[in-house]
Amino acid sequence: MLRFALVVALASAVALGGTPALAHFDAADRYTHKACPASAANRIDPVNVVFMTWGTWGRAESQIESHAGWTASSGSAQAFTDHGSCASMHTQRASGHGSRFHIRLRGQHADATLGWTALAAAHHEDLVLLPLACGHAVDANGPAGSGFDQGRDELLRRFTDAGHSSSRVWWGNTQSFKQCDGDYAGSDGWTVFIQLHQASHP
């Protein structure tokens, strides 16, 4: 675990130093966007999970299904950026179709230290039907954190229980986002790095 944390720390330091020849992981934009081109005005969710080592989006999708049991694929599309380029997400998974855990992912550049990486935005959301039906809204901040924090922590718990190494990193992306029920939700600023293994699950 210590070695894993050191790898994350070193990669982070390299990223801060801006030496792309050695590290291609890009954490410059720590939010998802409603569409491209990305801007501060069309941010939707905070990025709060990074899959690494064998963190291709396909492996991440497979292992989310296996370890968390989130197999539903419904939901709207969002966009991520990587080295200044904006593109739609690769996939999404959820724990159901009503009130649920939900995560969107996009594979990123491979990194010399972190390996294959994928950015993800996880959250818990309620299906709001009353007083006005508005659809899915991320849980407002509460004792267990916001819906963003709850989604991240639930995913982390499932992967940790399955033996995956992880590390928490301060990203500071705590901007609040208004939800369709009128509540606000935001990340507590911590992002988890989760190590994936090579083998996909059946």
Partner 1 sequence: MTHPWSIAAVTLAYGLMLVGSVSAGGGGSPAALQSFPLYNAGERVDGLPLAAVLRREDTAHFVSFVYGDCVAGDDAGCAPPAEIQIWPSCRRNLGLYDRVQSVGAPAERISVRGVPALLFDDGTRLELETGQSTAVVFAGTRARVLRIAGALRTIDGTVLSLRPLPQPTRGQEGGPSNC
Binding residues vs partner 1 (CB under 8 A): 5, 8-13, 15-18, 27-30, 34, 39-45, 75-76, 78, 125, 134-138, 140-146, 149, 167, 169-172, 174-180, 182-186, 188-190
Minimum distance of partner 1 from residue 179's CB (angstroms): 5
Contact (CB, 8 A) for 100 and 30: no
Question: Which backbone phi and psi does 184 adopt, to 5 degrees?
Answer: -115, 145
Q: Which residue has the tokens 């901040």?
A: 141
Question: Is the Cβ of residue 69 or residue 172 nearer to partner 1 in the bound state?
Answer: 172
Minimum distance of partner 1 from residue 201's CB (angstroms): 27
Minimum distance of partner 1 from residue 196's CB (angstroms): 19
Question: Is the Cβ of residue 144 or residue 199 nearer to partner 1 in the bound state?
Answer: 144
Buried residues in 163-179 as b, exposed as e (16+ CB within 10 A): ebbbbebebebeeebeb
Minimum distance of partner 1 from residue 9's CB (angstroms): 5
Contact (CB, 8 A) for 114 and 7: yes
Minimum distance of partner 1 from residue 157's CB (angstroms): 14
Q: What residues form DSSP beta bridges with 127?
A: 136
Question: Is the Cβ of residue 44 or residue 110 nearer to partner 1 in the bound state?
Answer: 44
Q: Which residue has the tokens 């994928």?
A: 118
Question: Is the Cβ of residue 178 or residue 197 nearer to partner 1 in the bound state?
Answer: 178
Question: Is the Cβ of residue 5 or residue 62 nearer to partner 1 in the bound state?
Answer: 5
Q: Which of the 8 DSSP states describes residue 151? A: H
DSSP 3-state of 177: strand
Q: Which token pair is 12? A: 């982070």
How far is 55 from 63, CA to CA, in rounded Å? Answer: 10
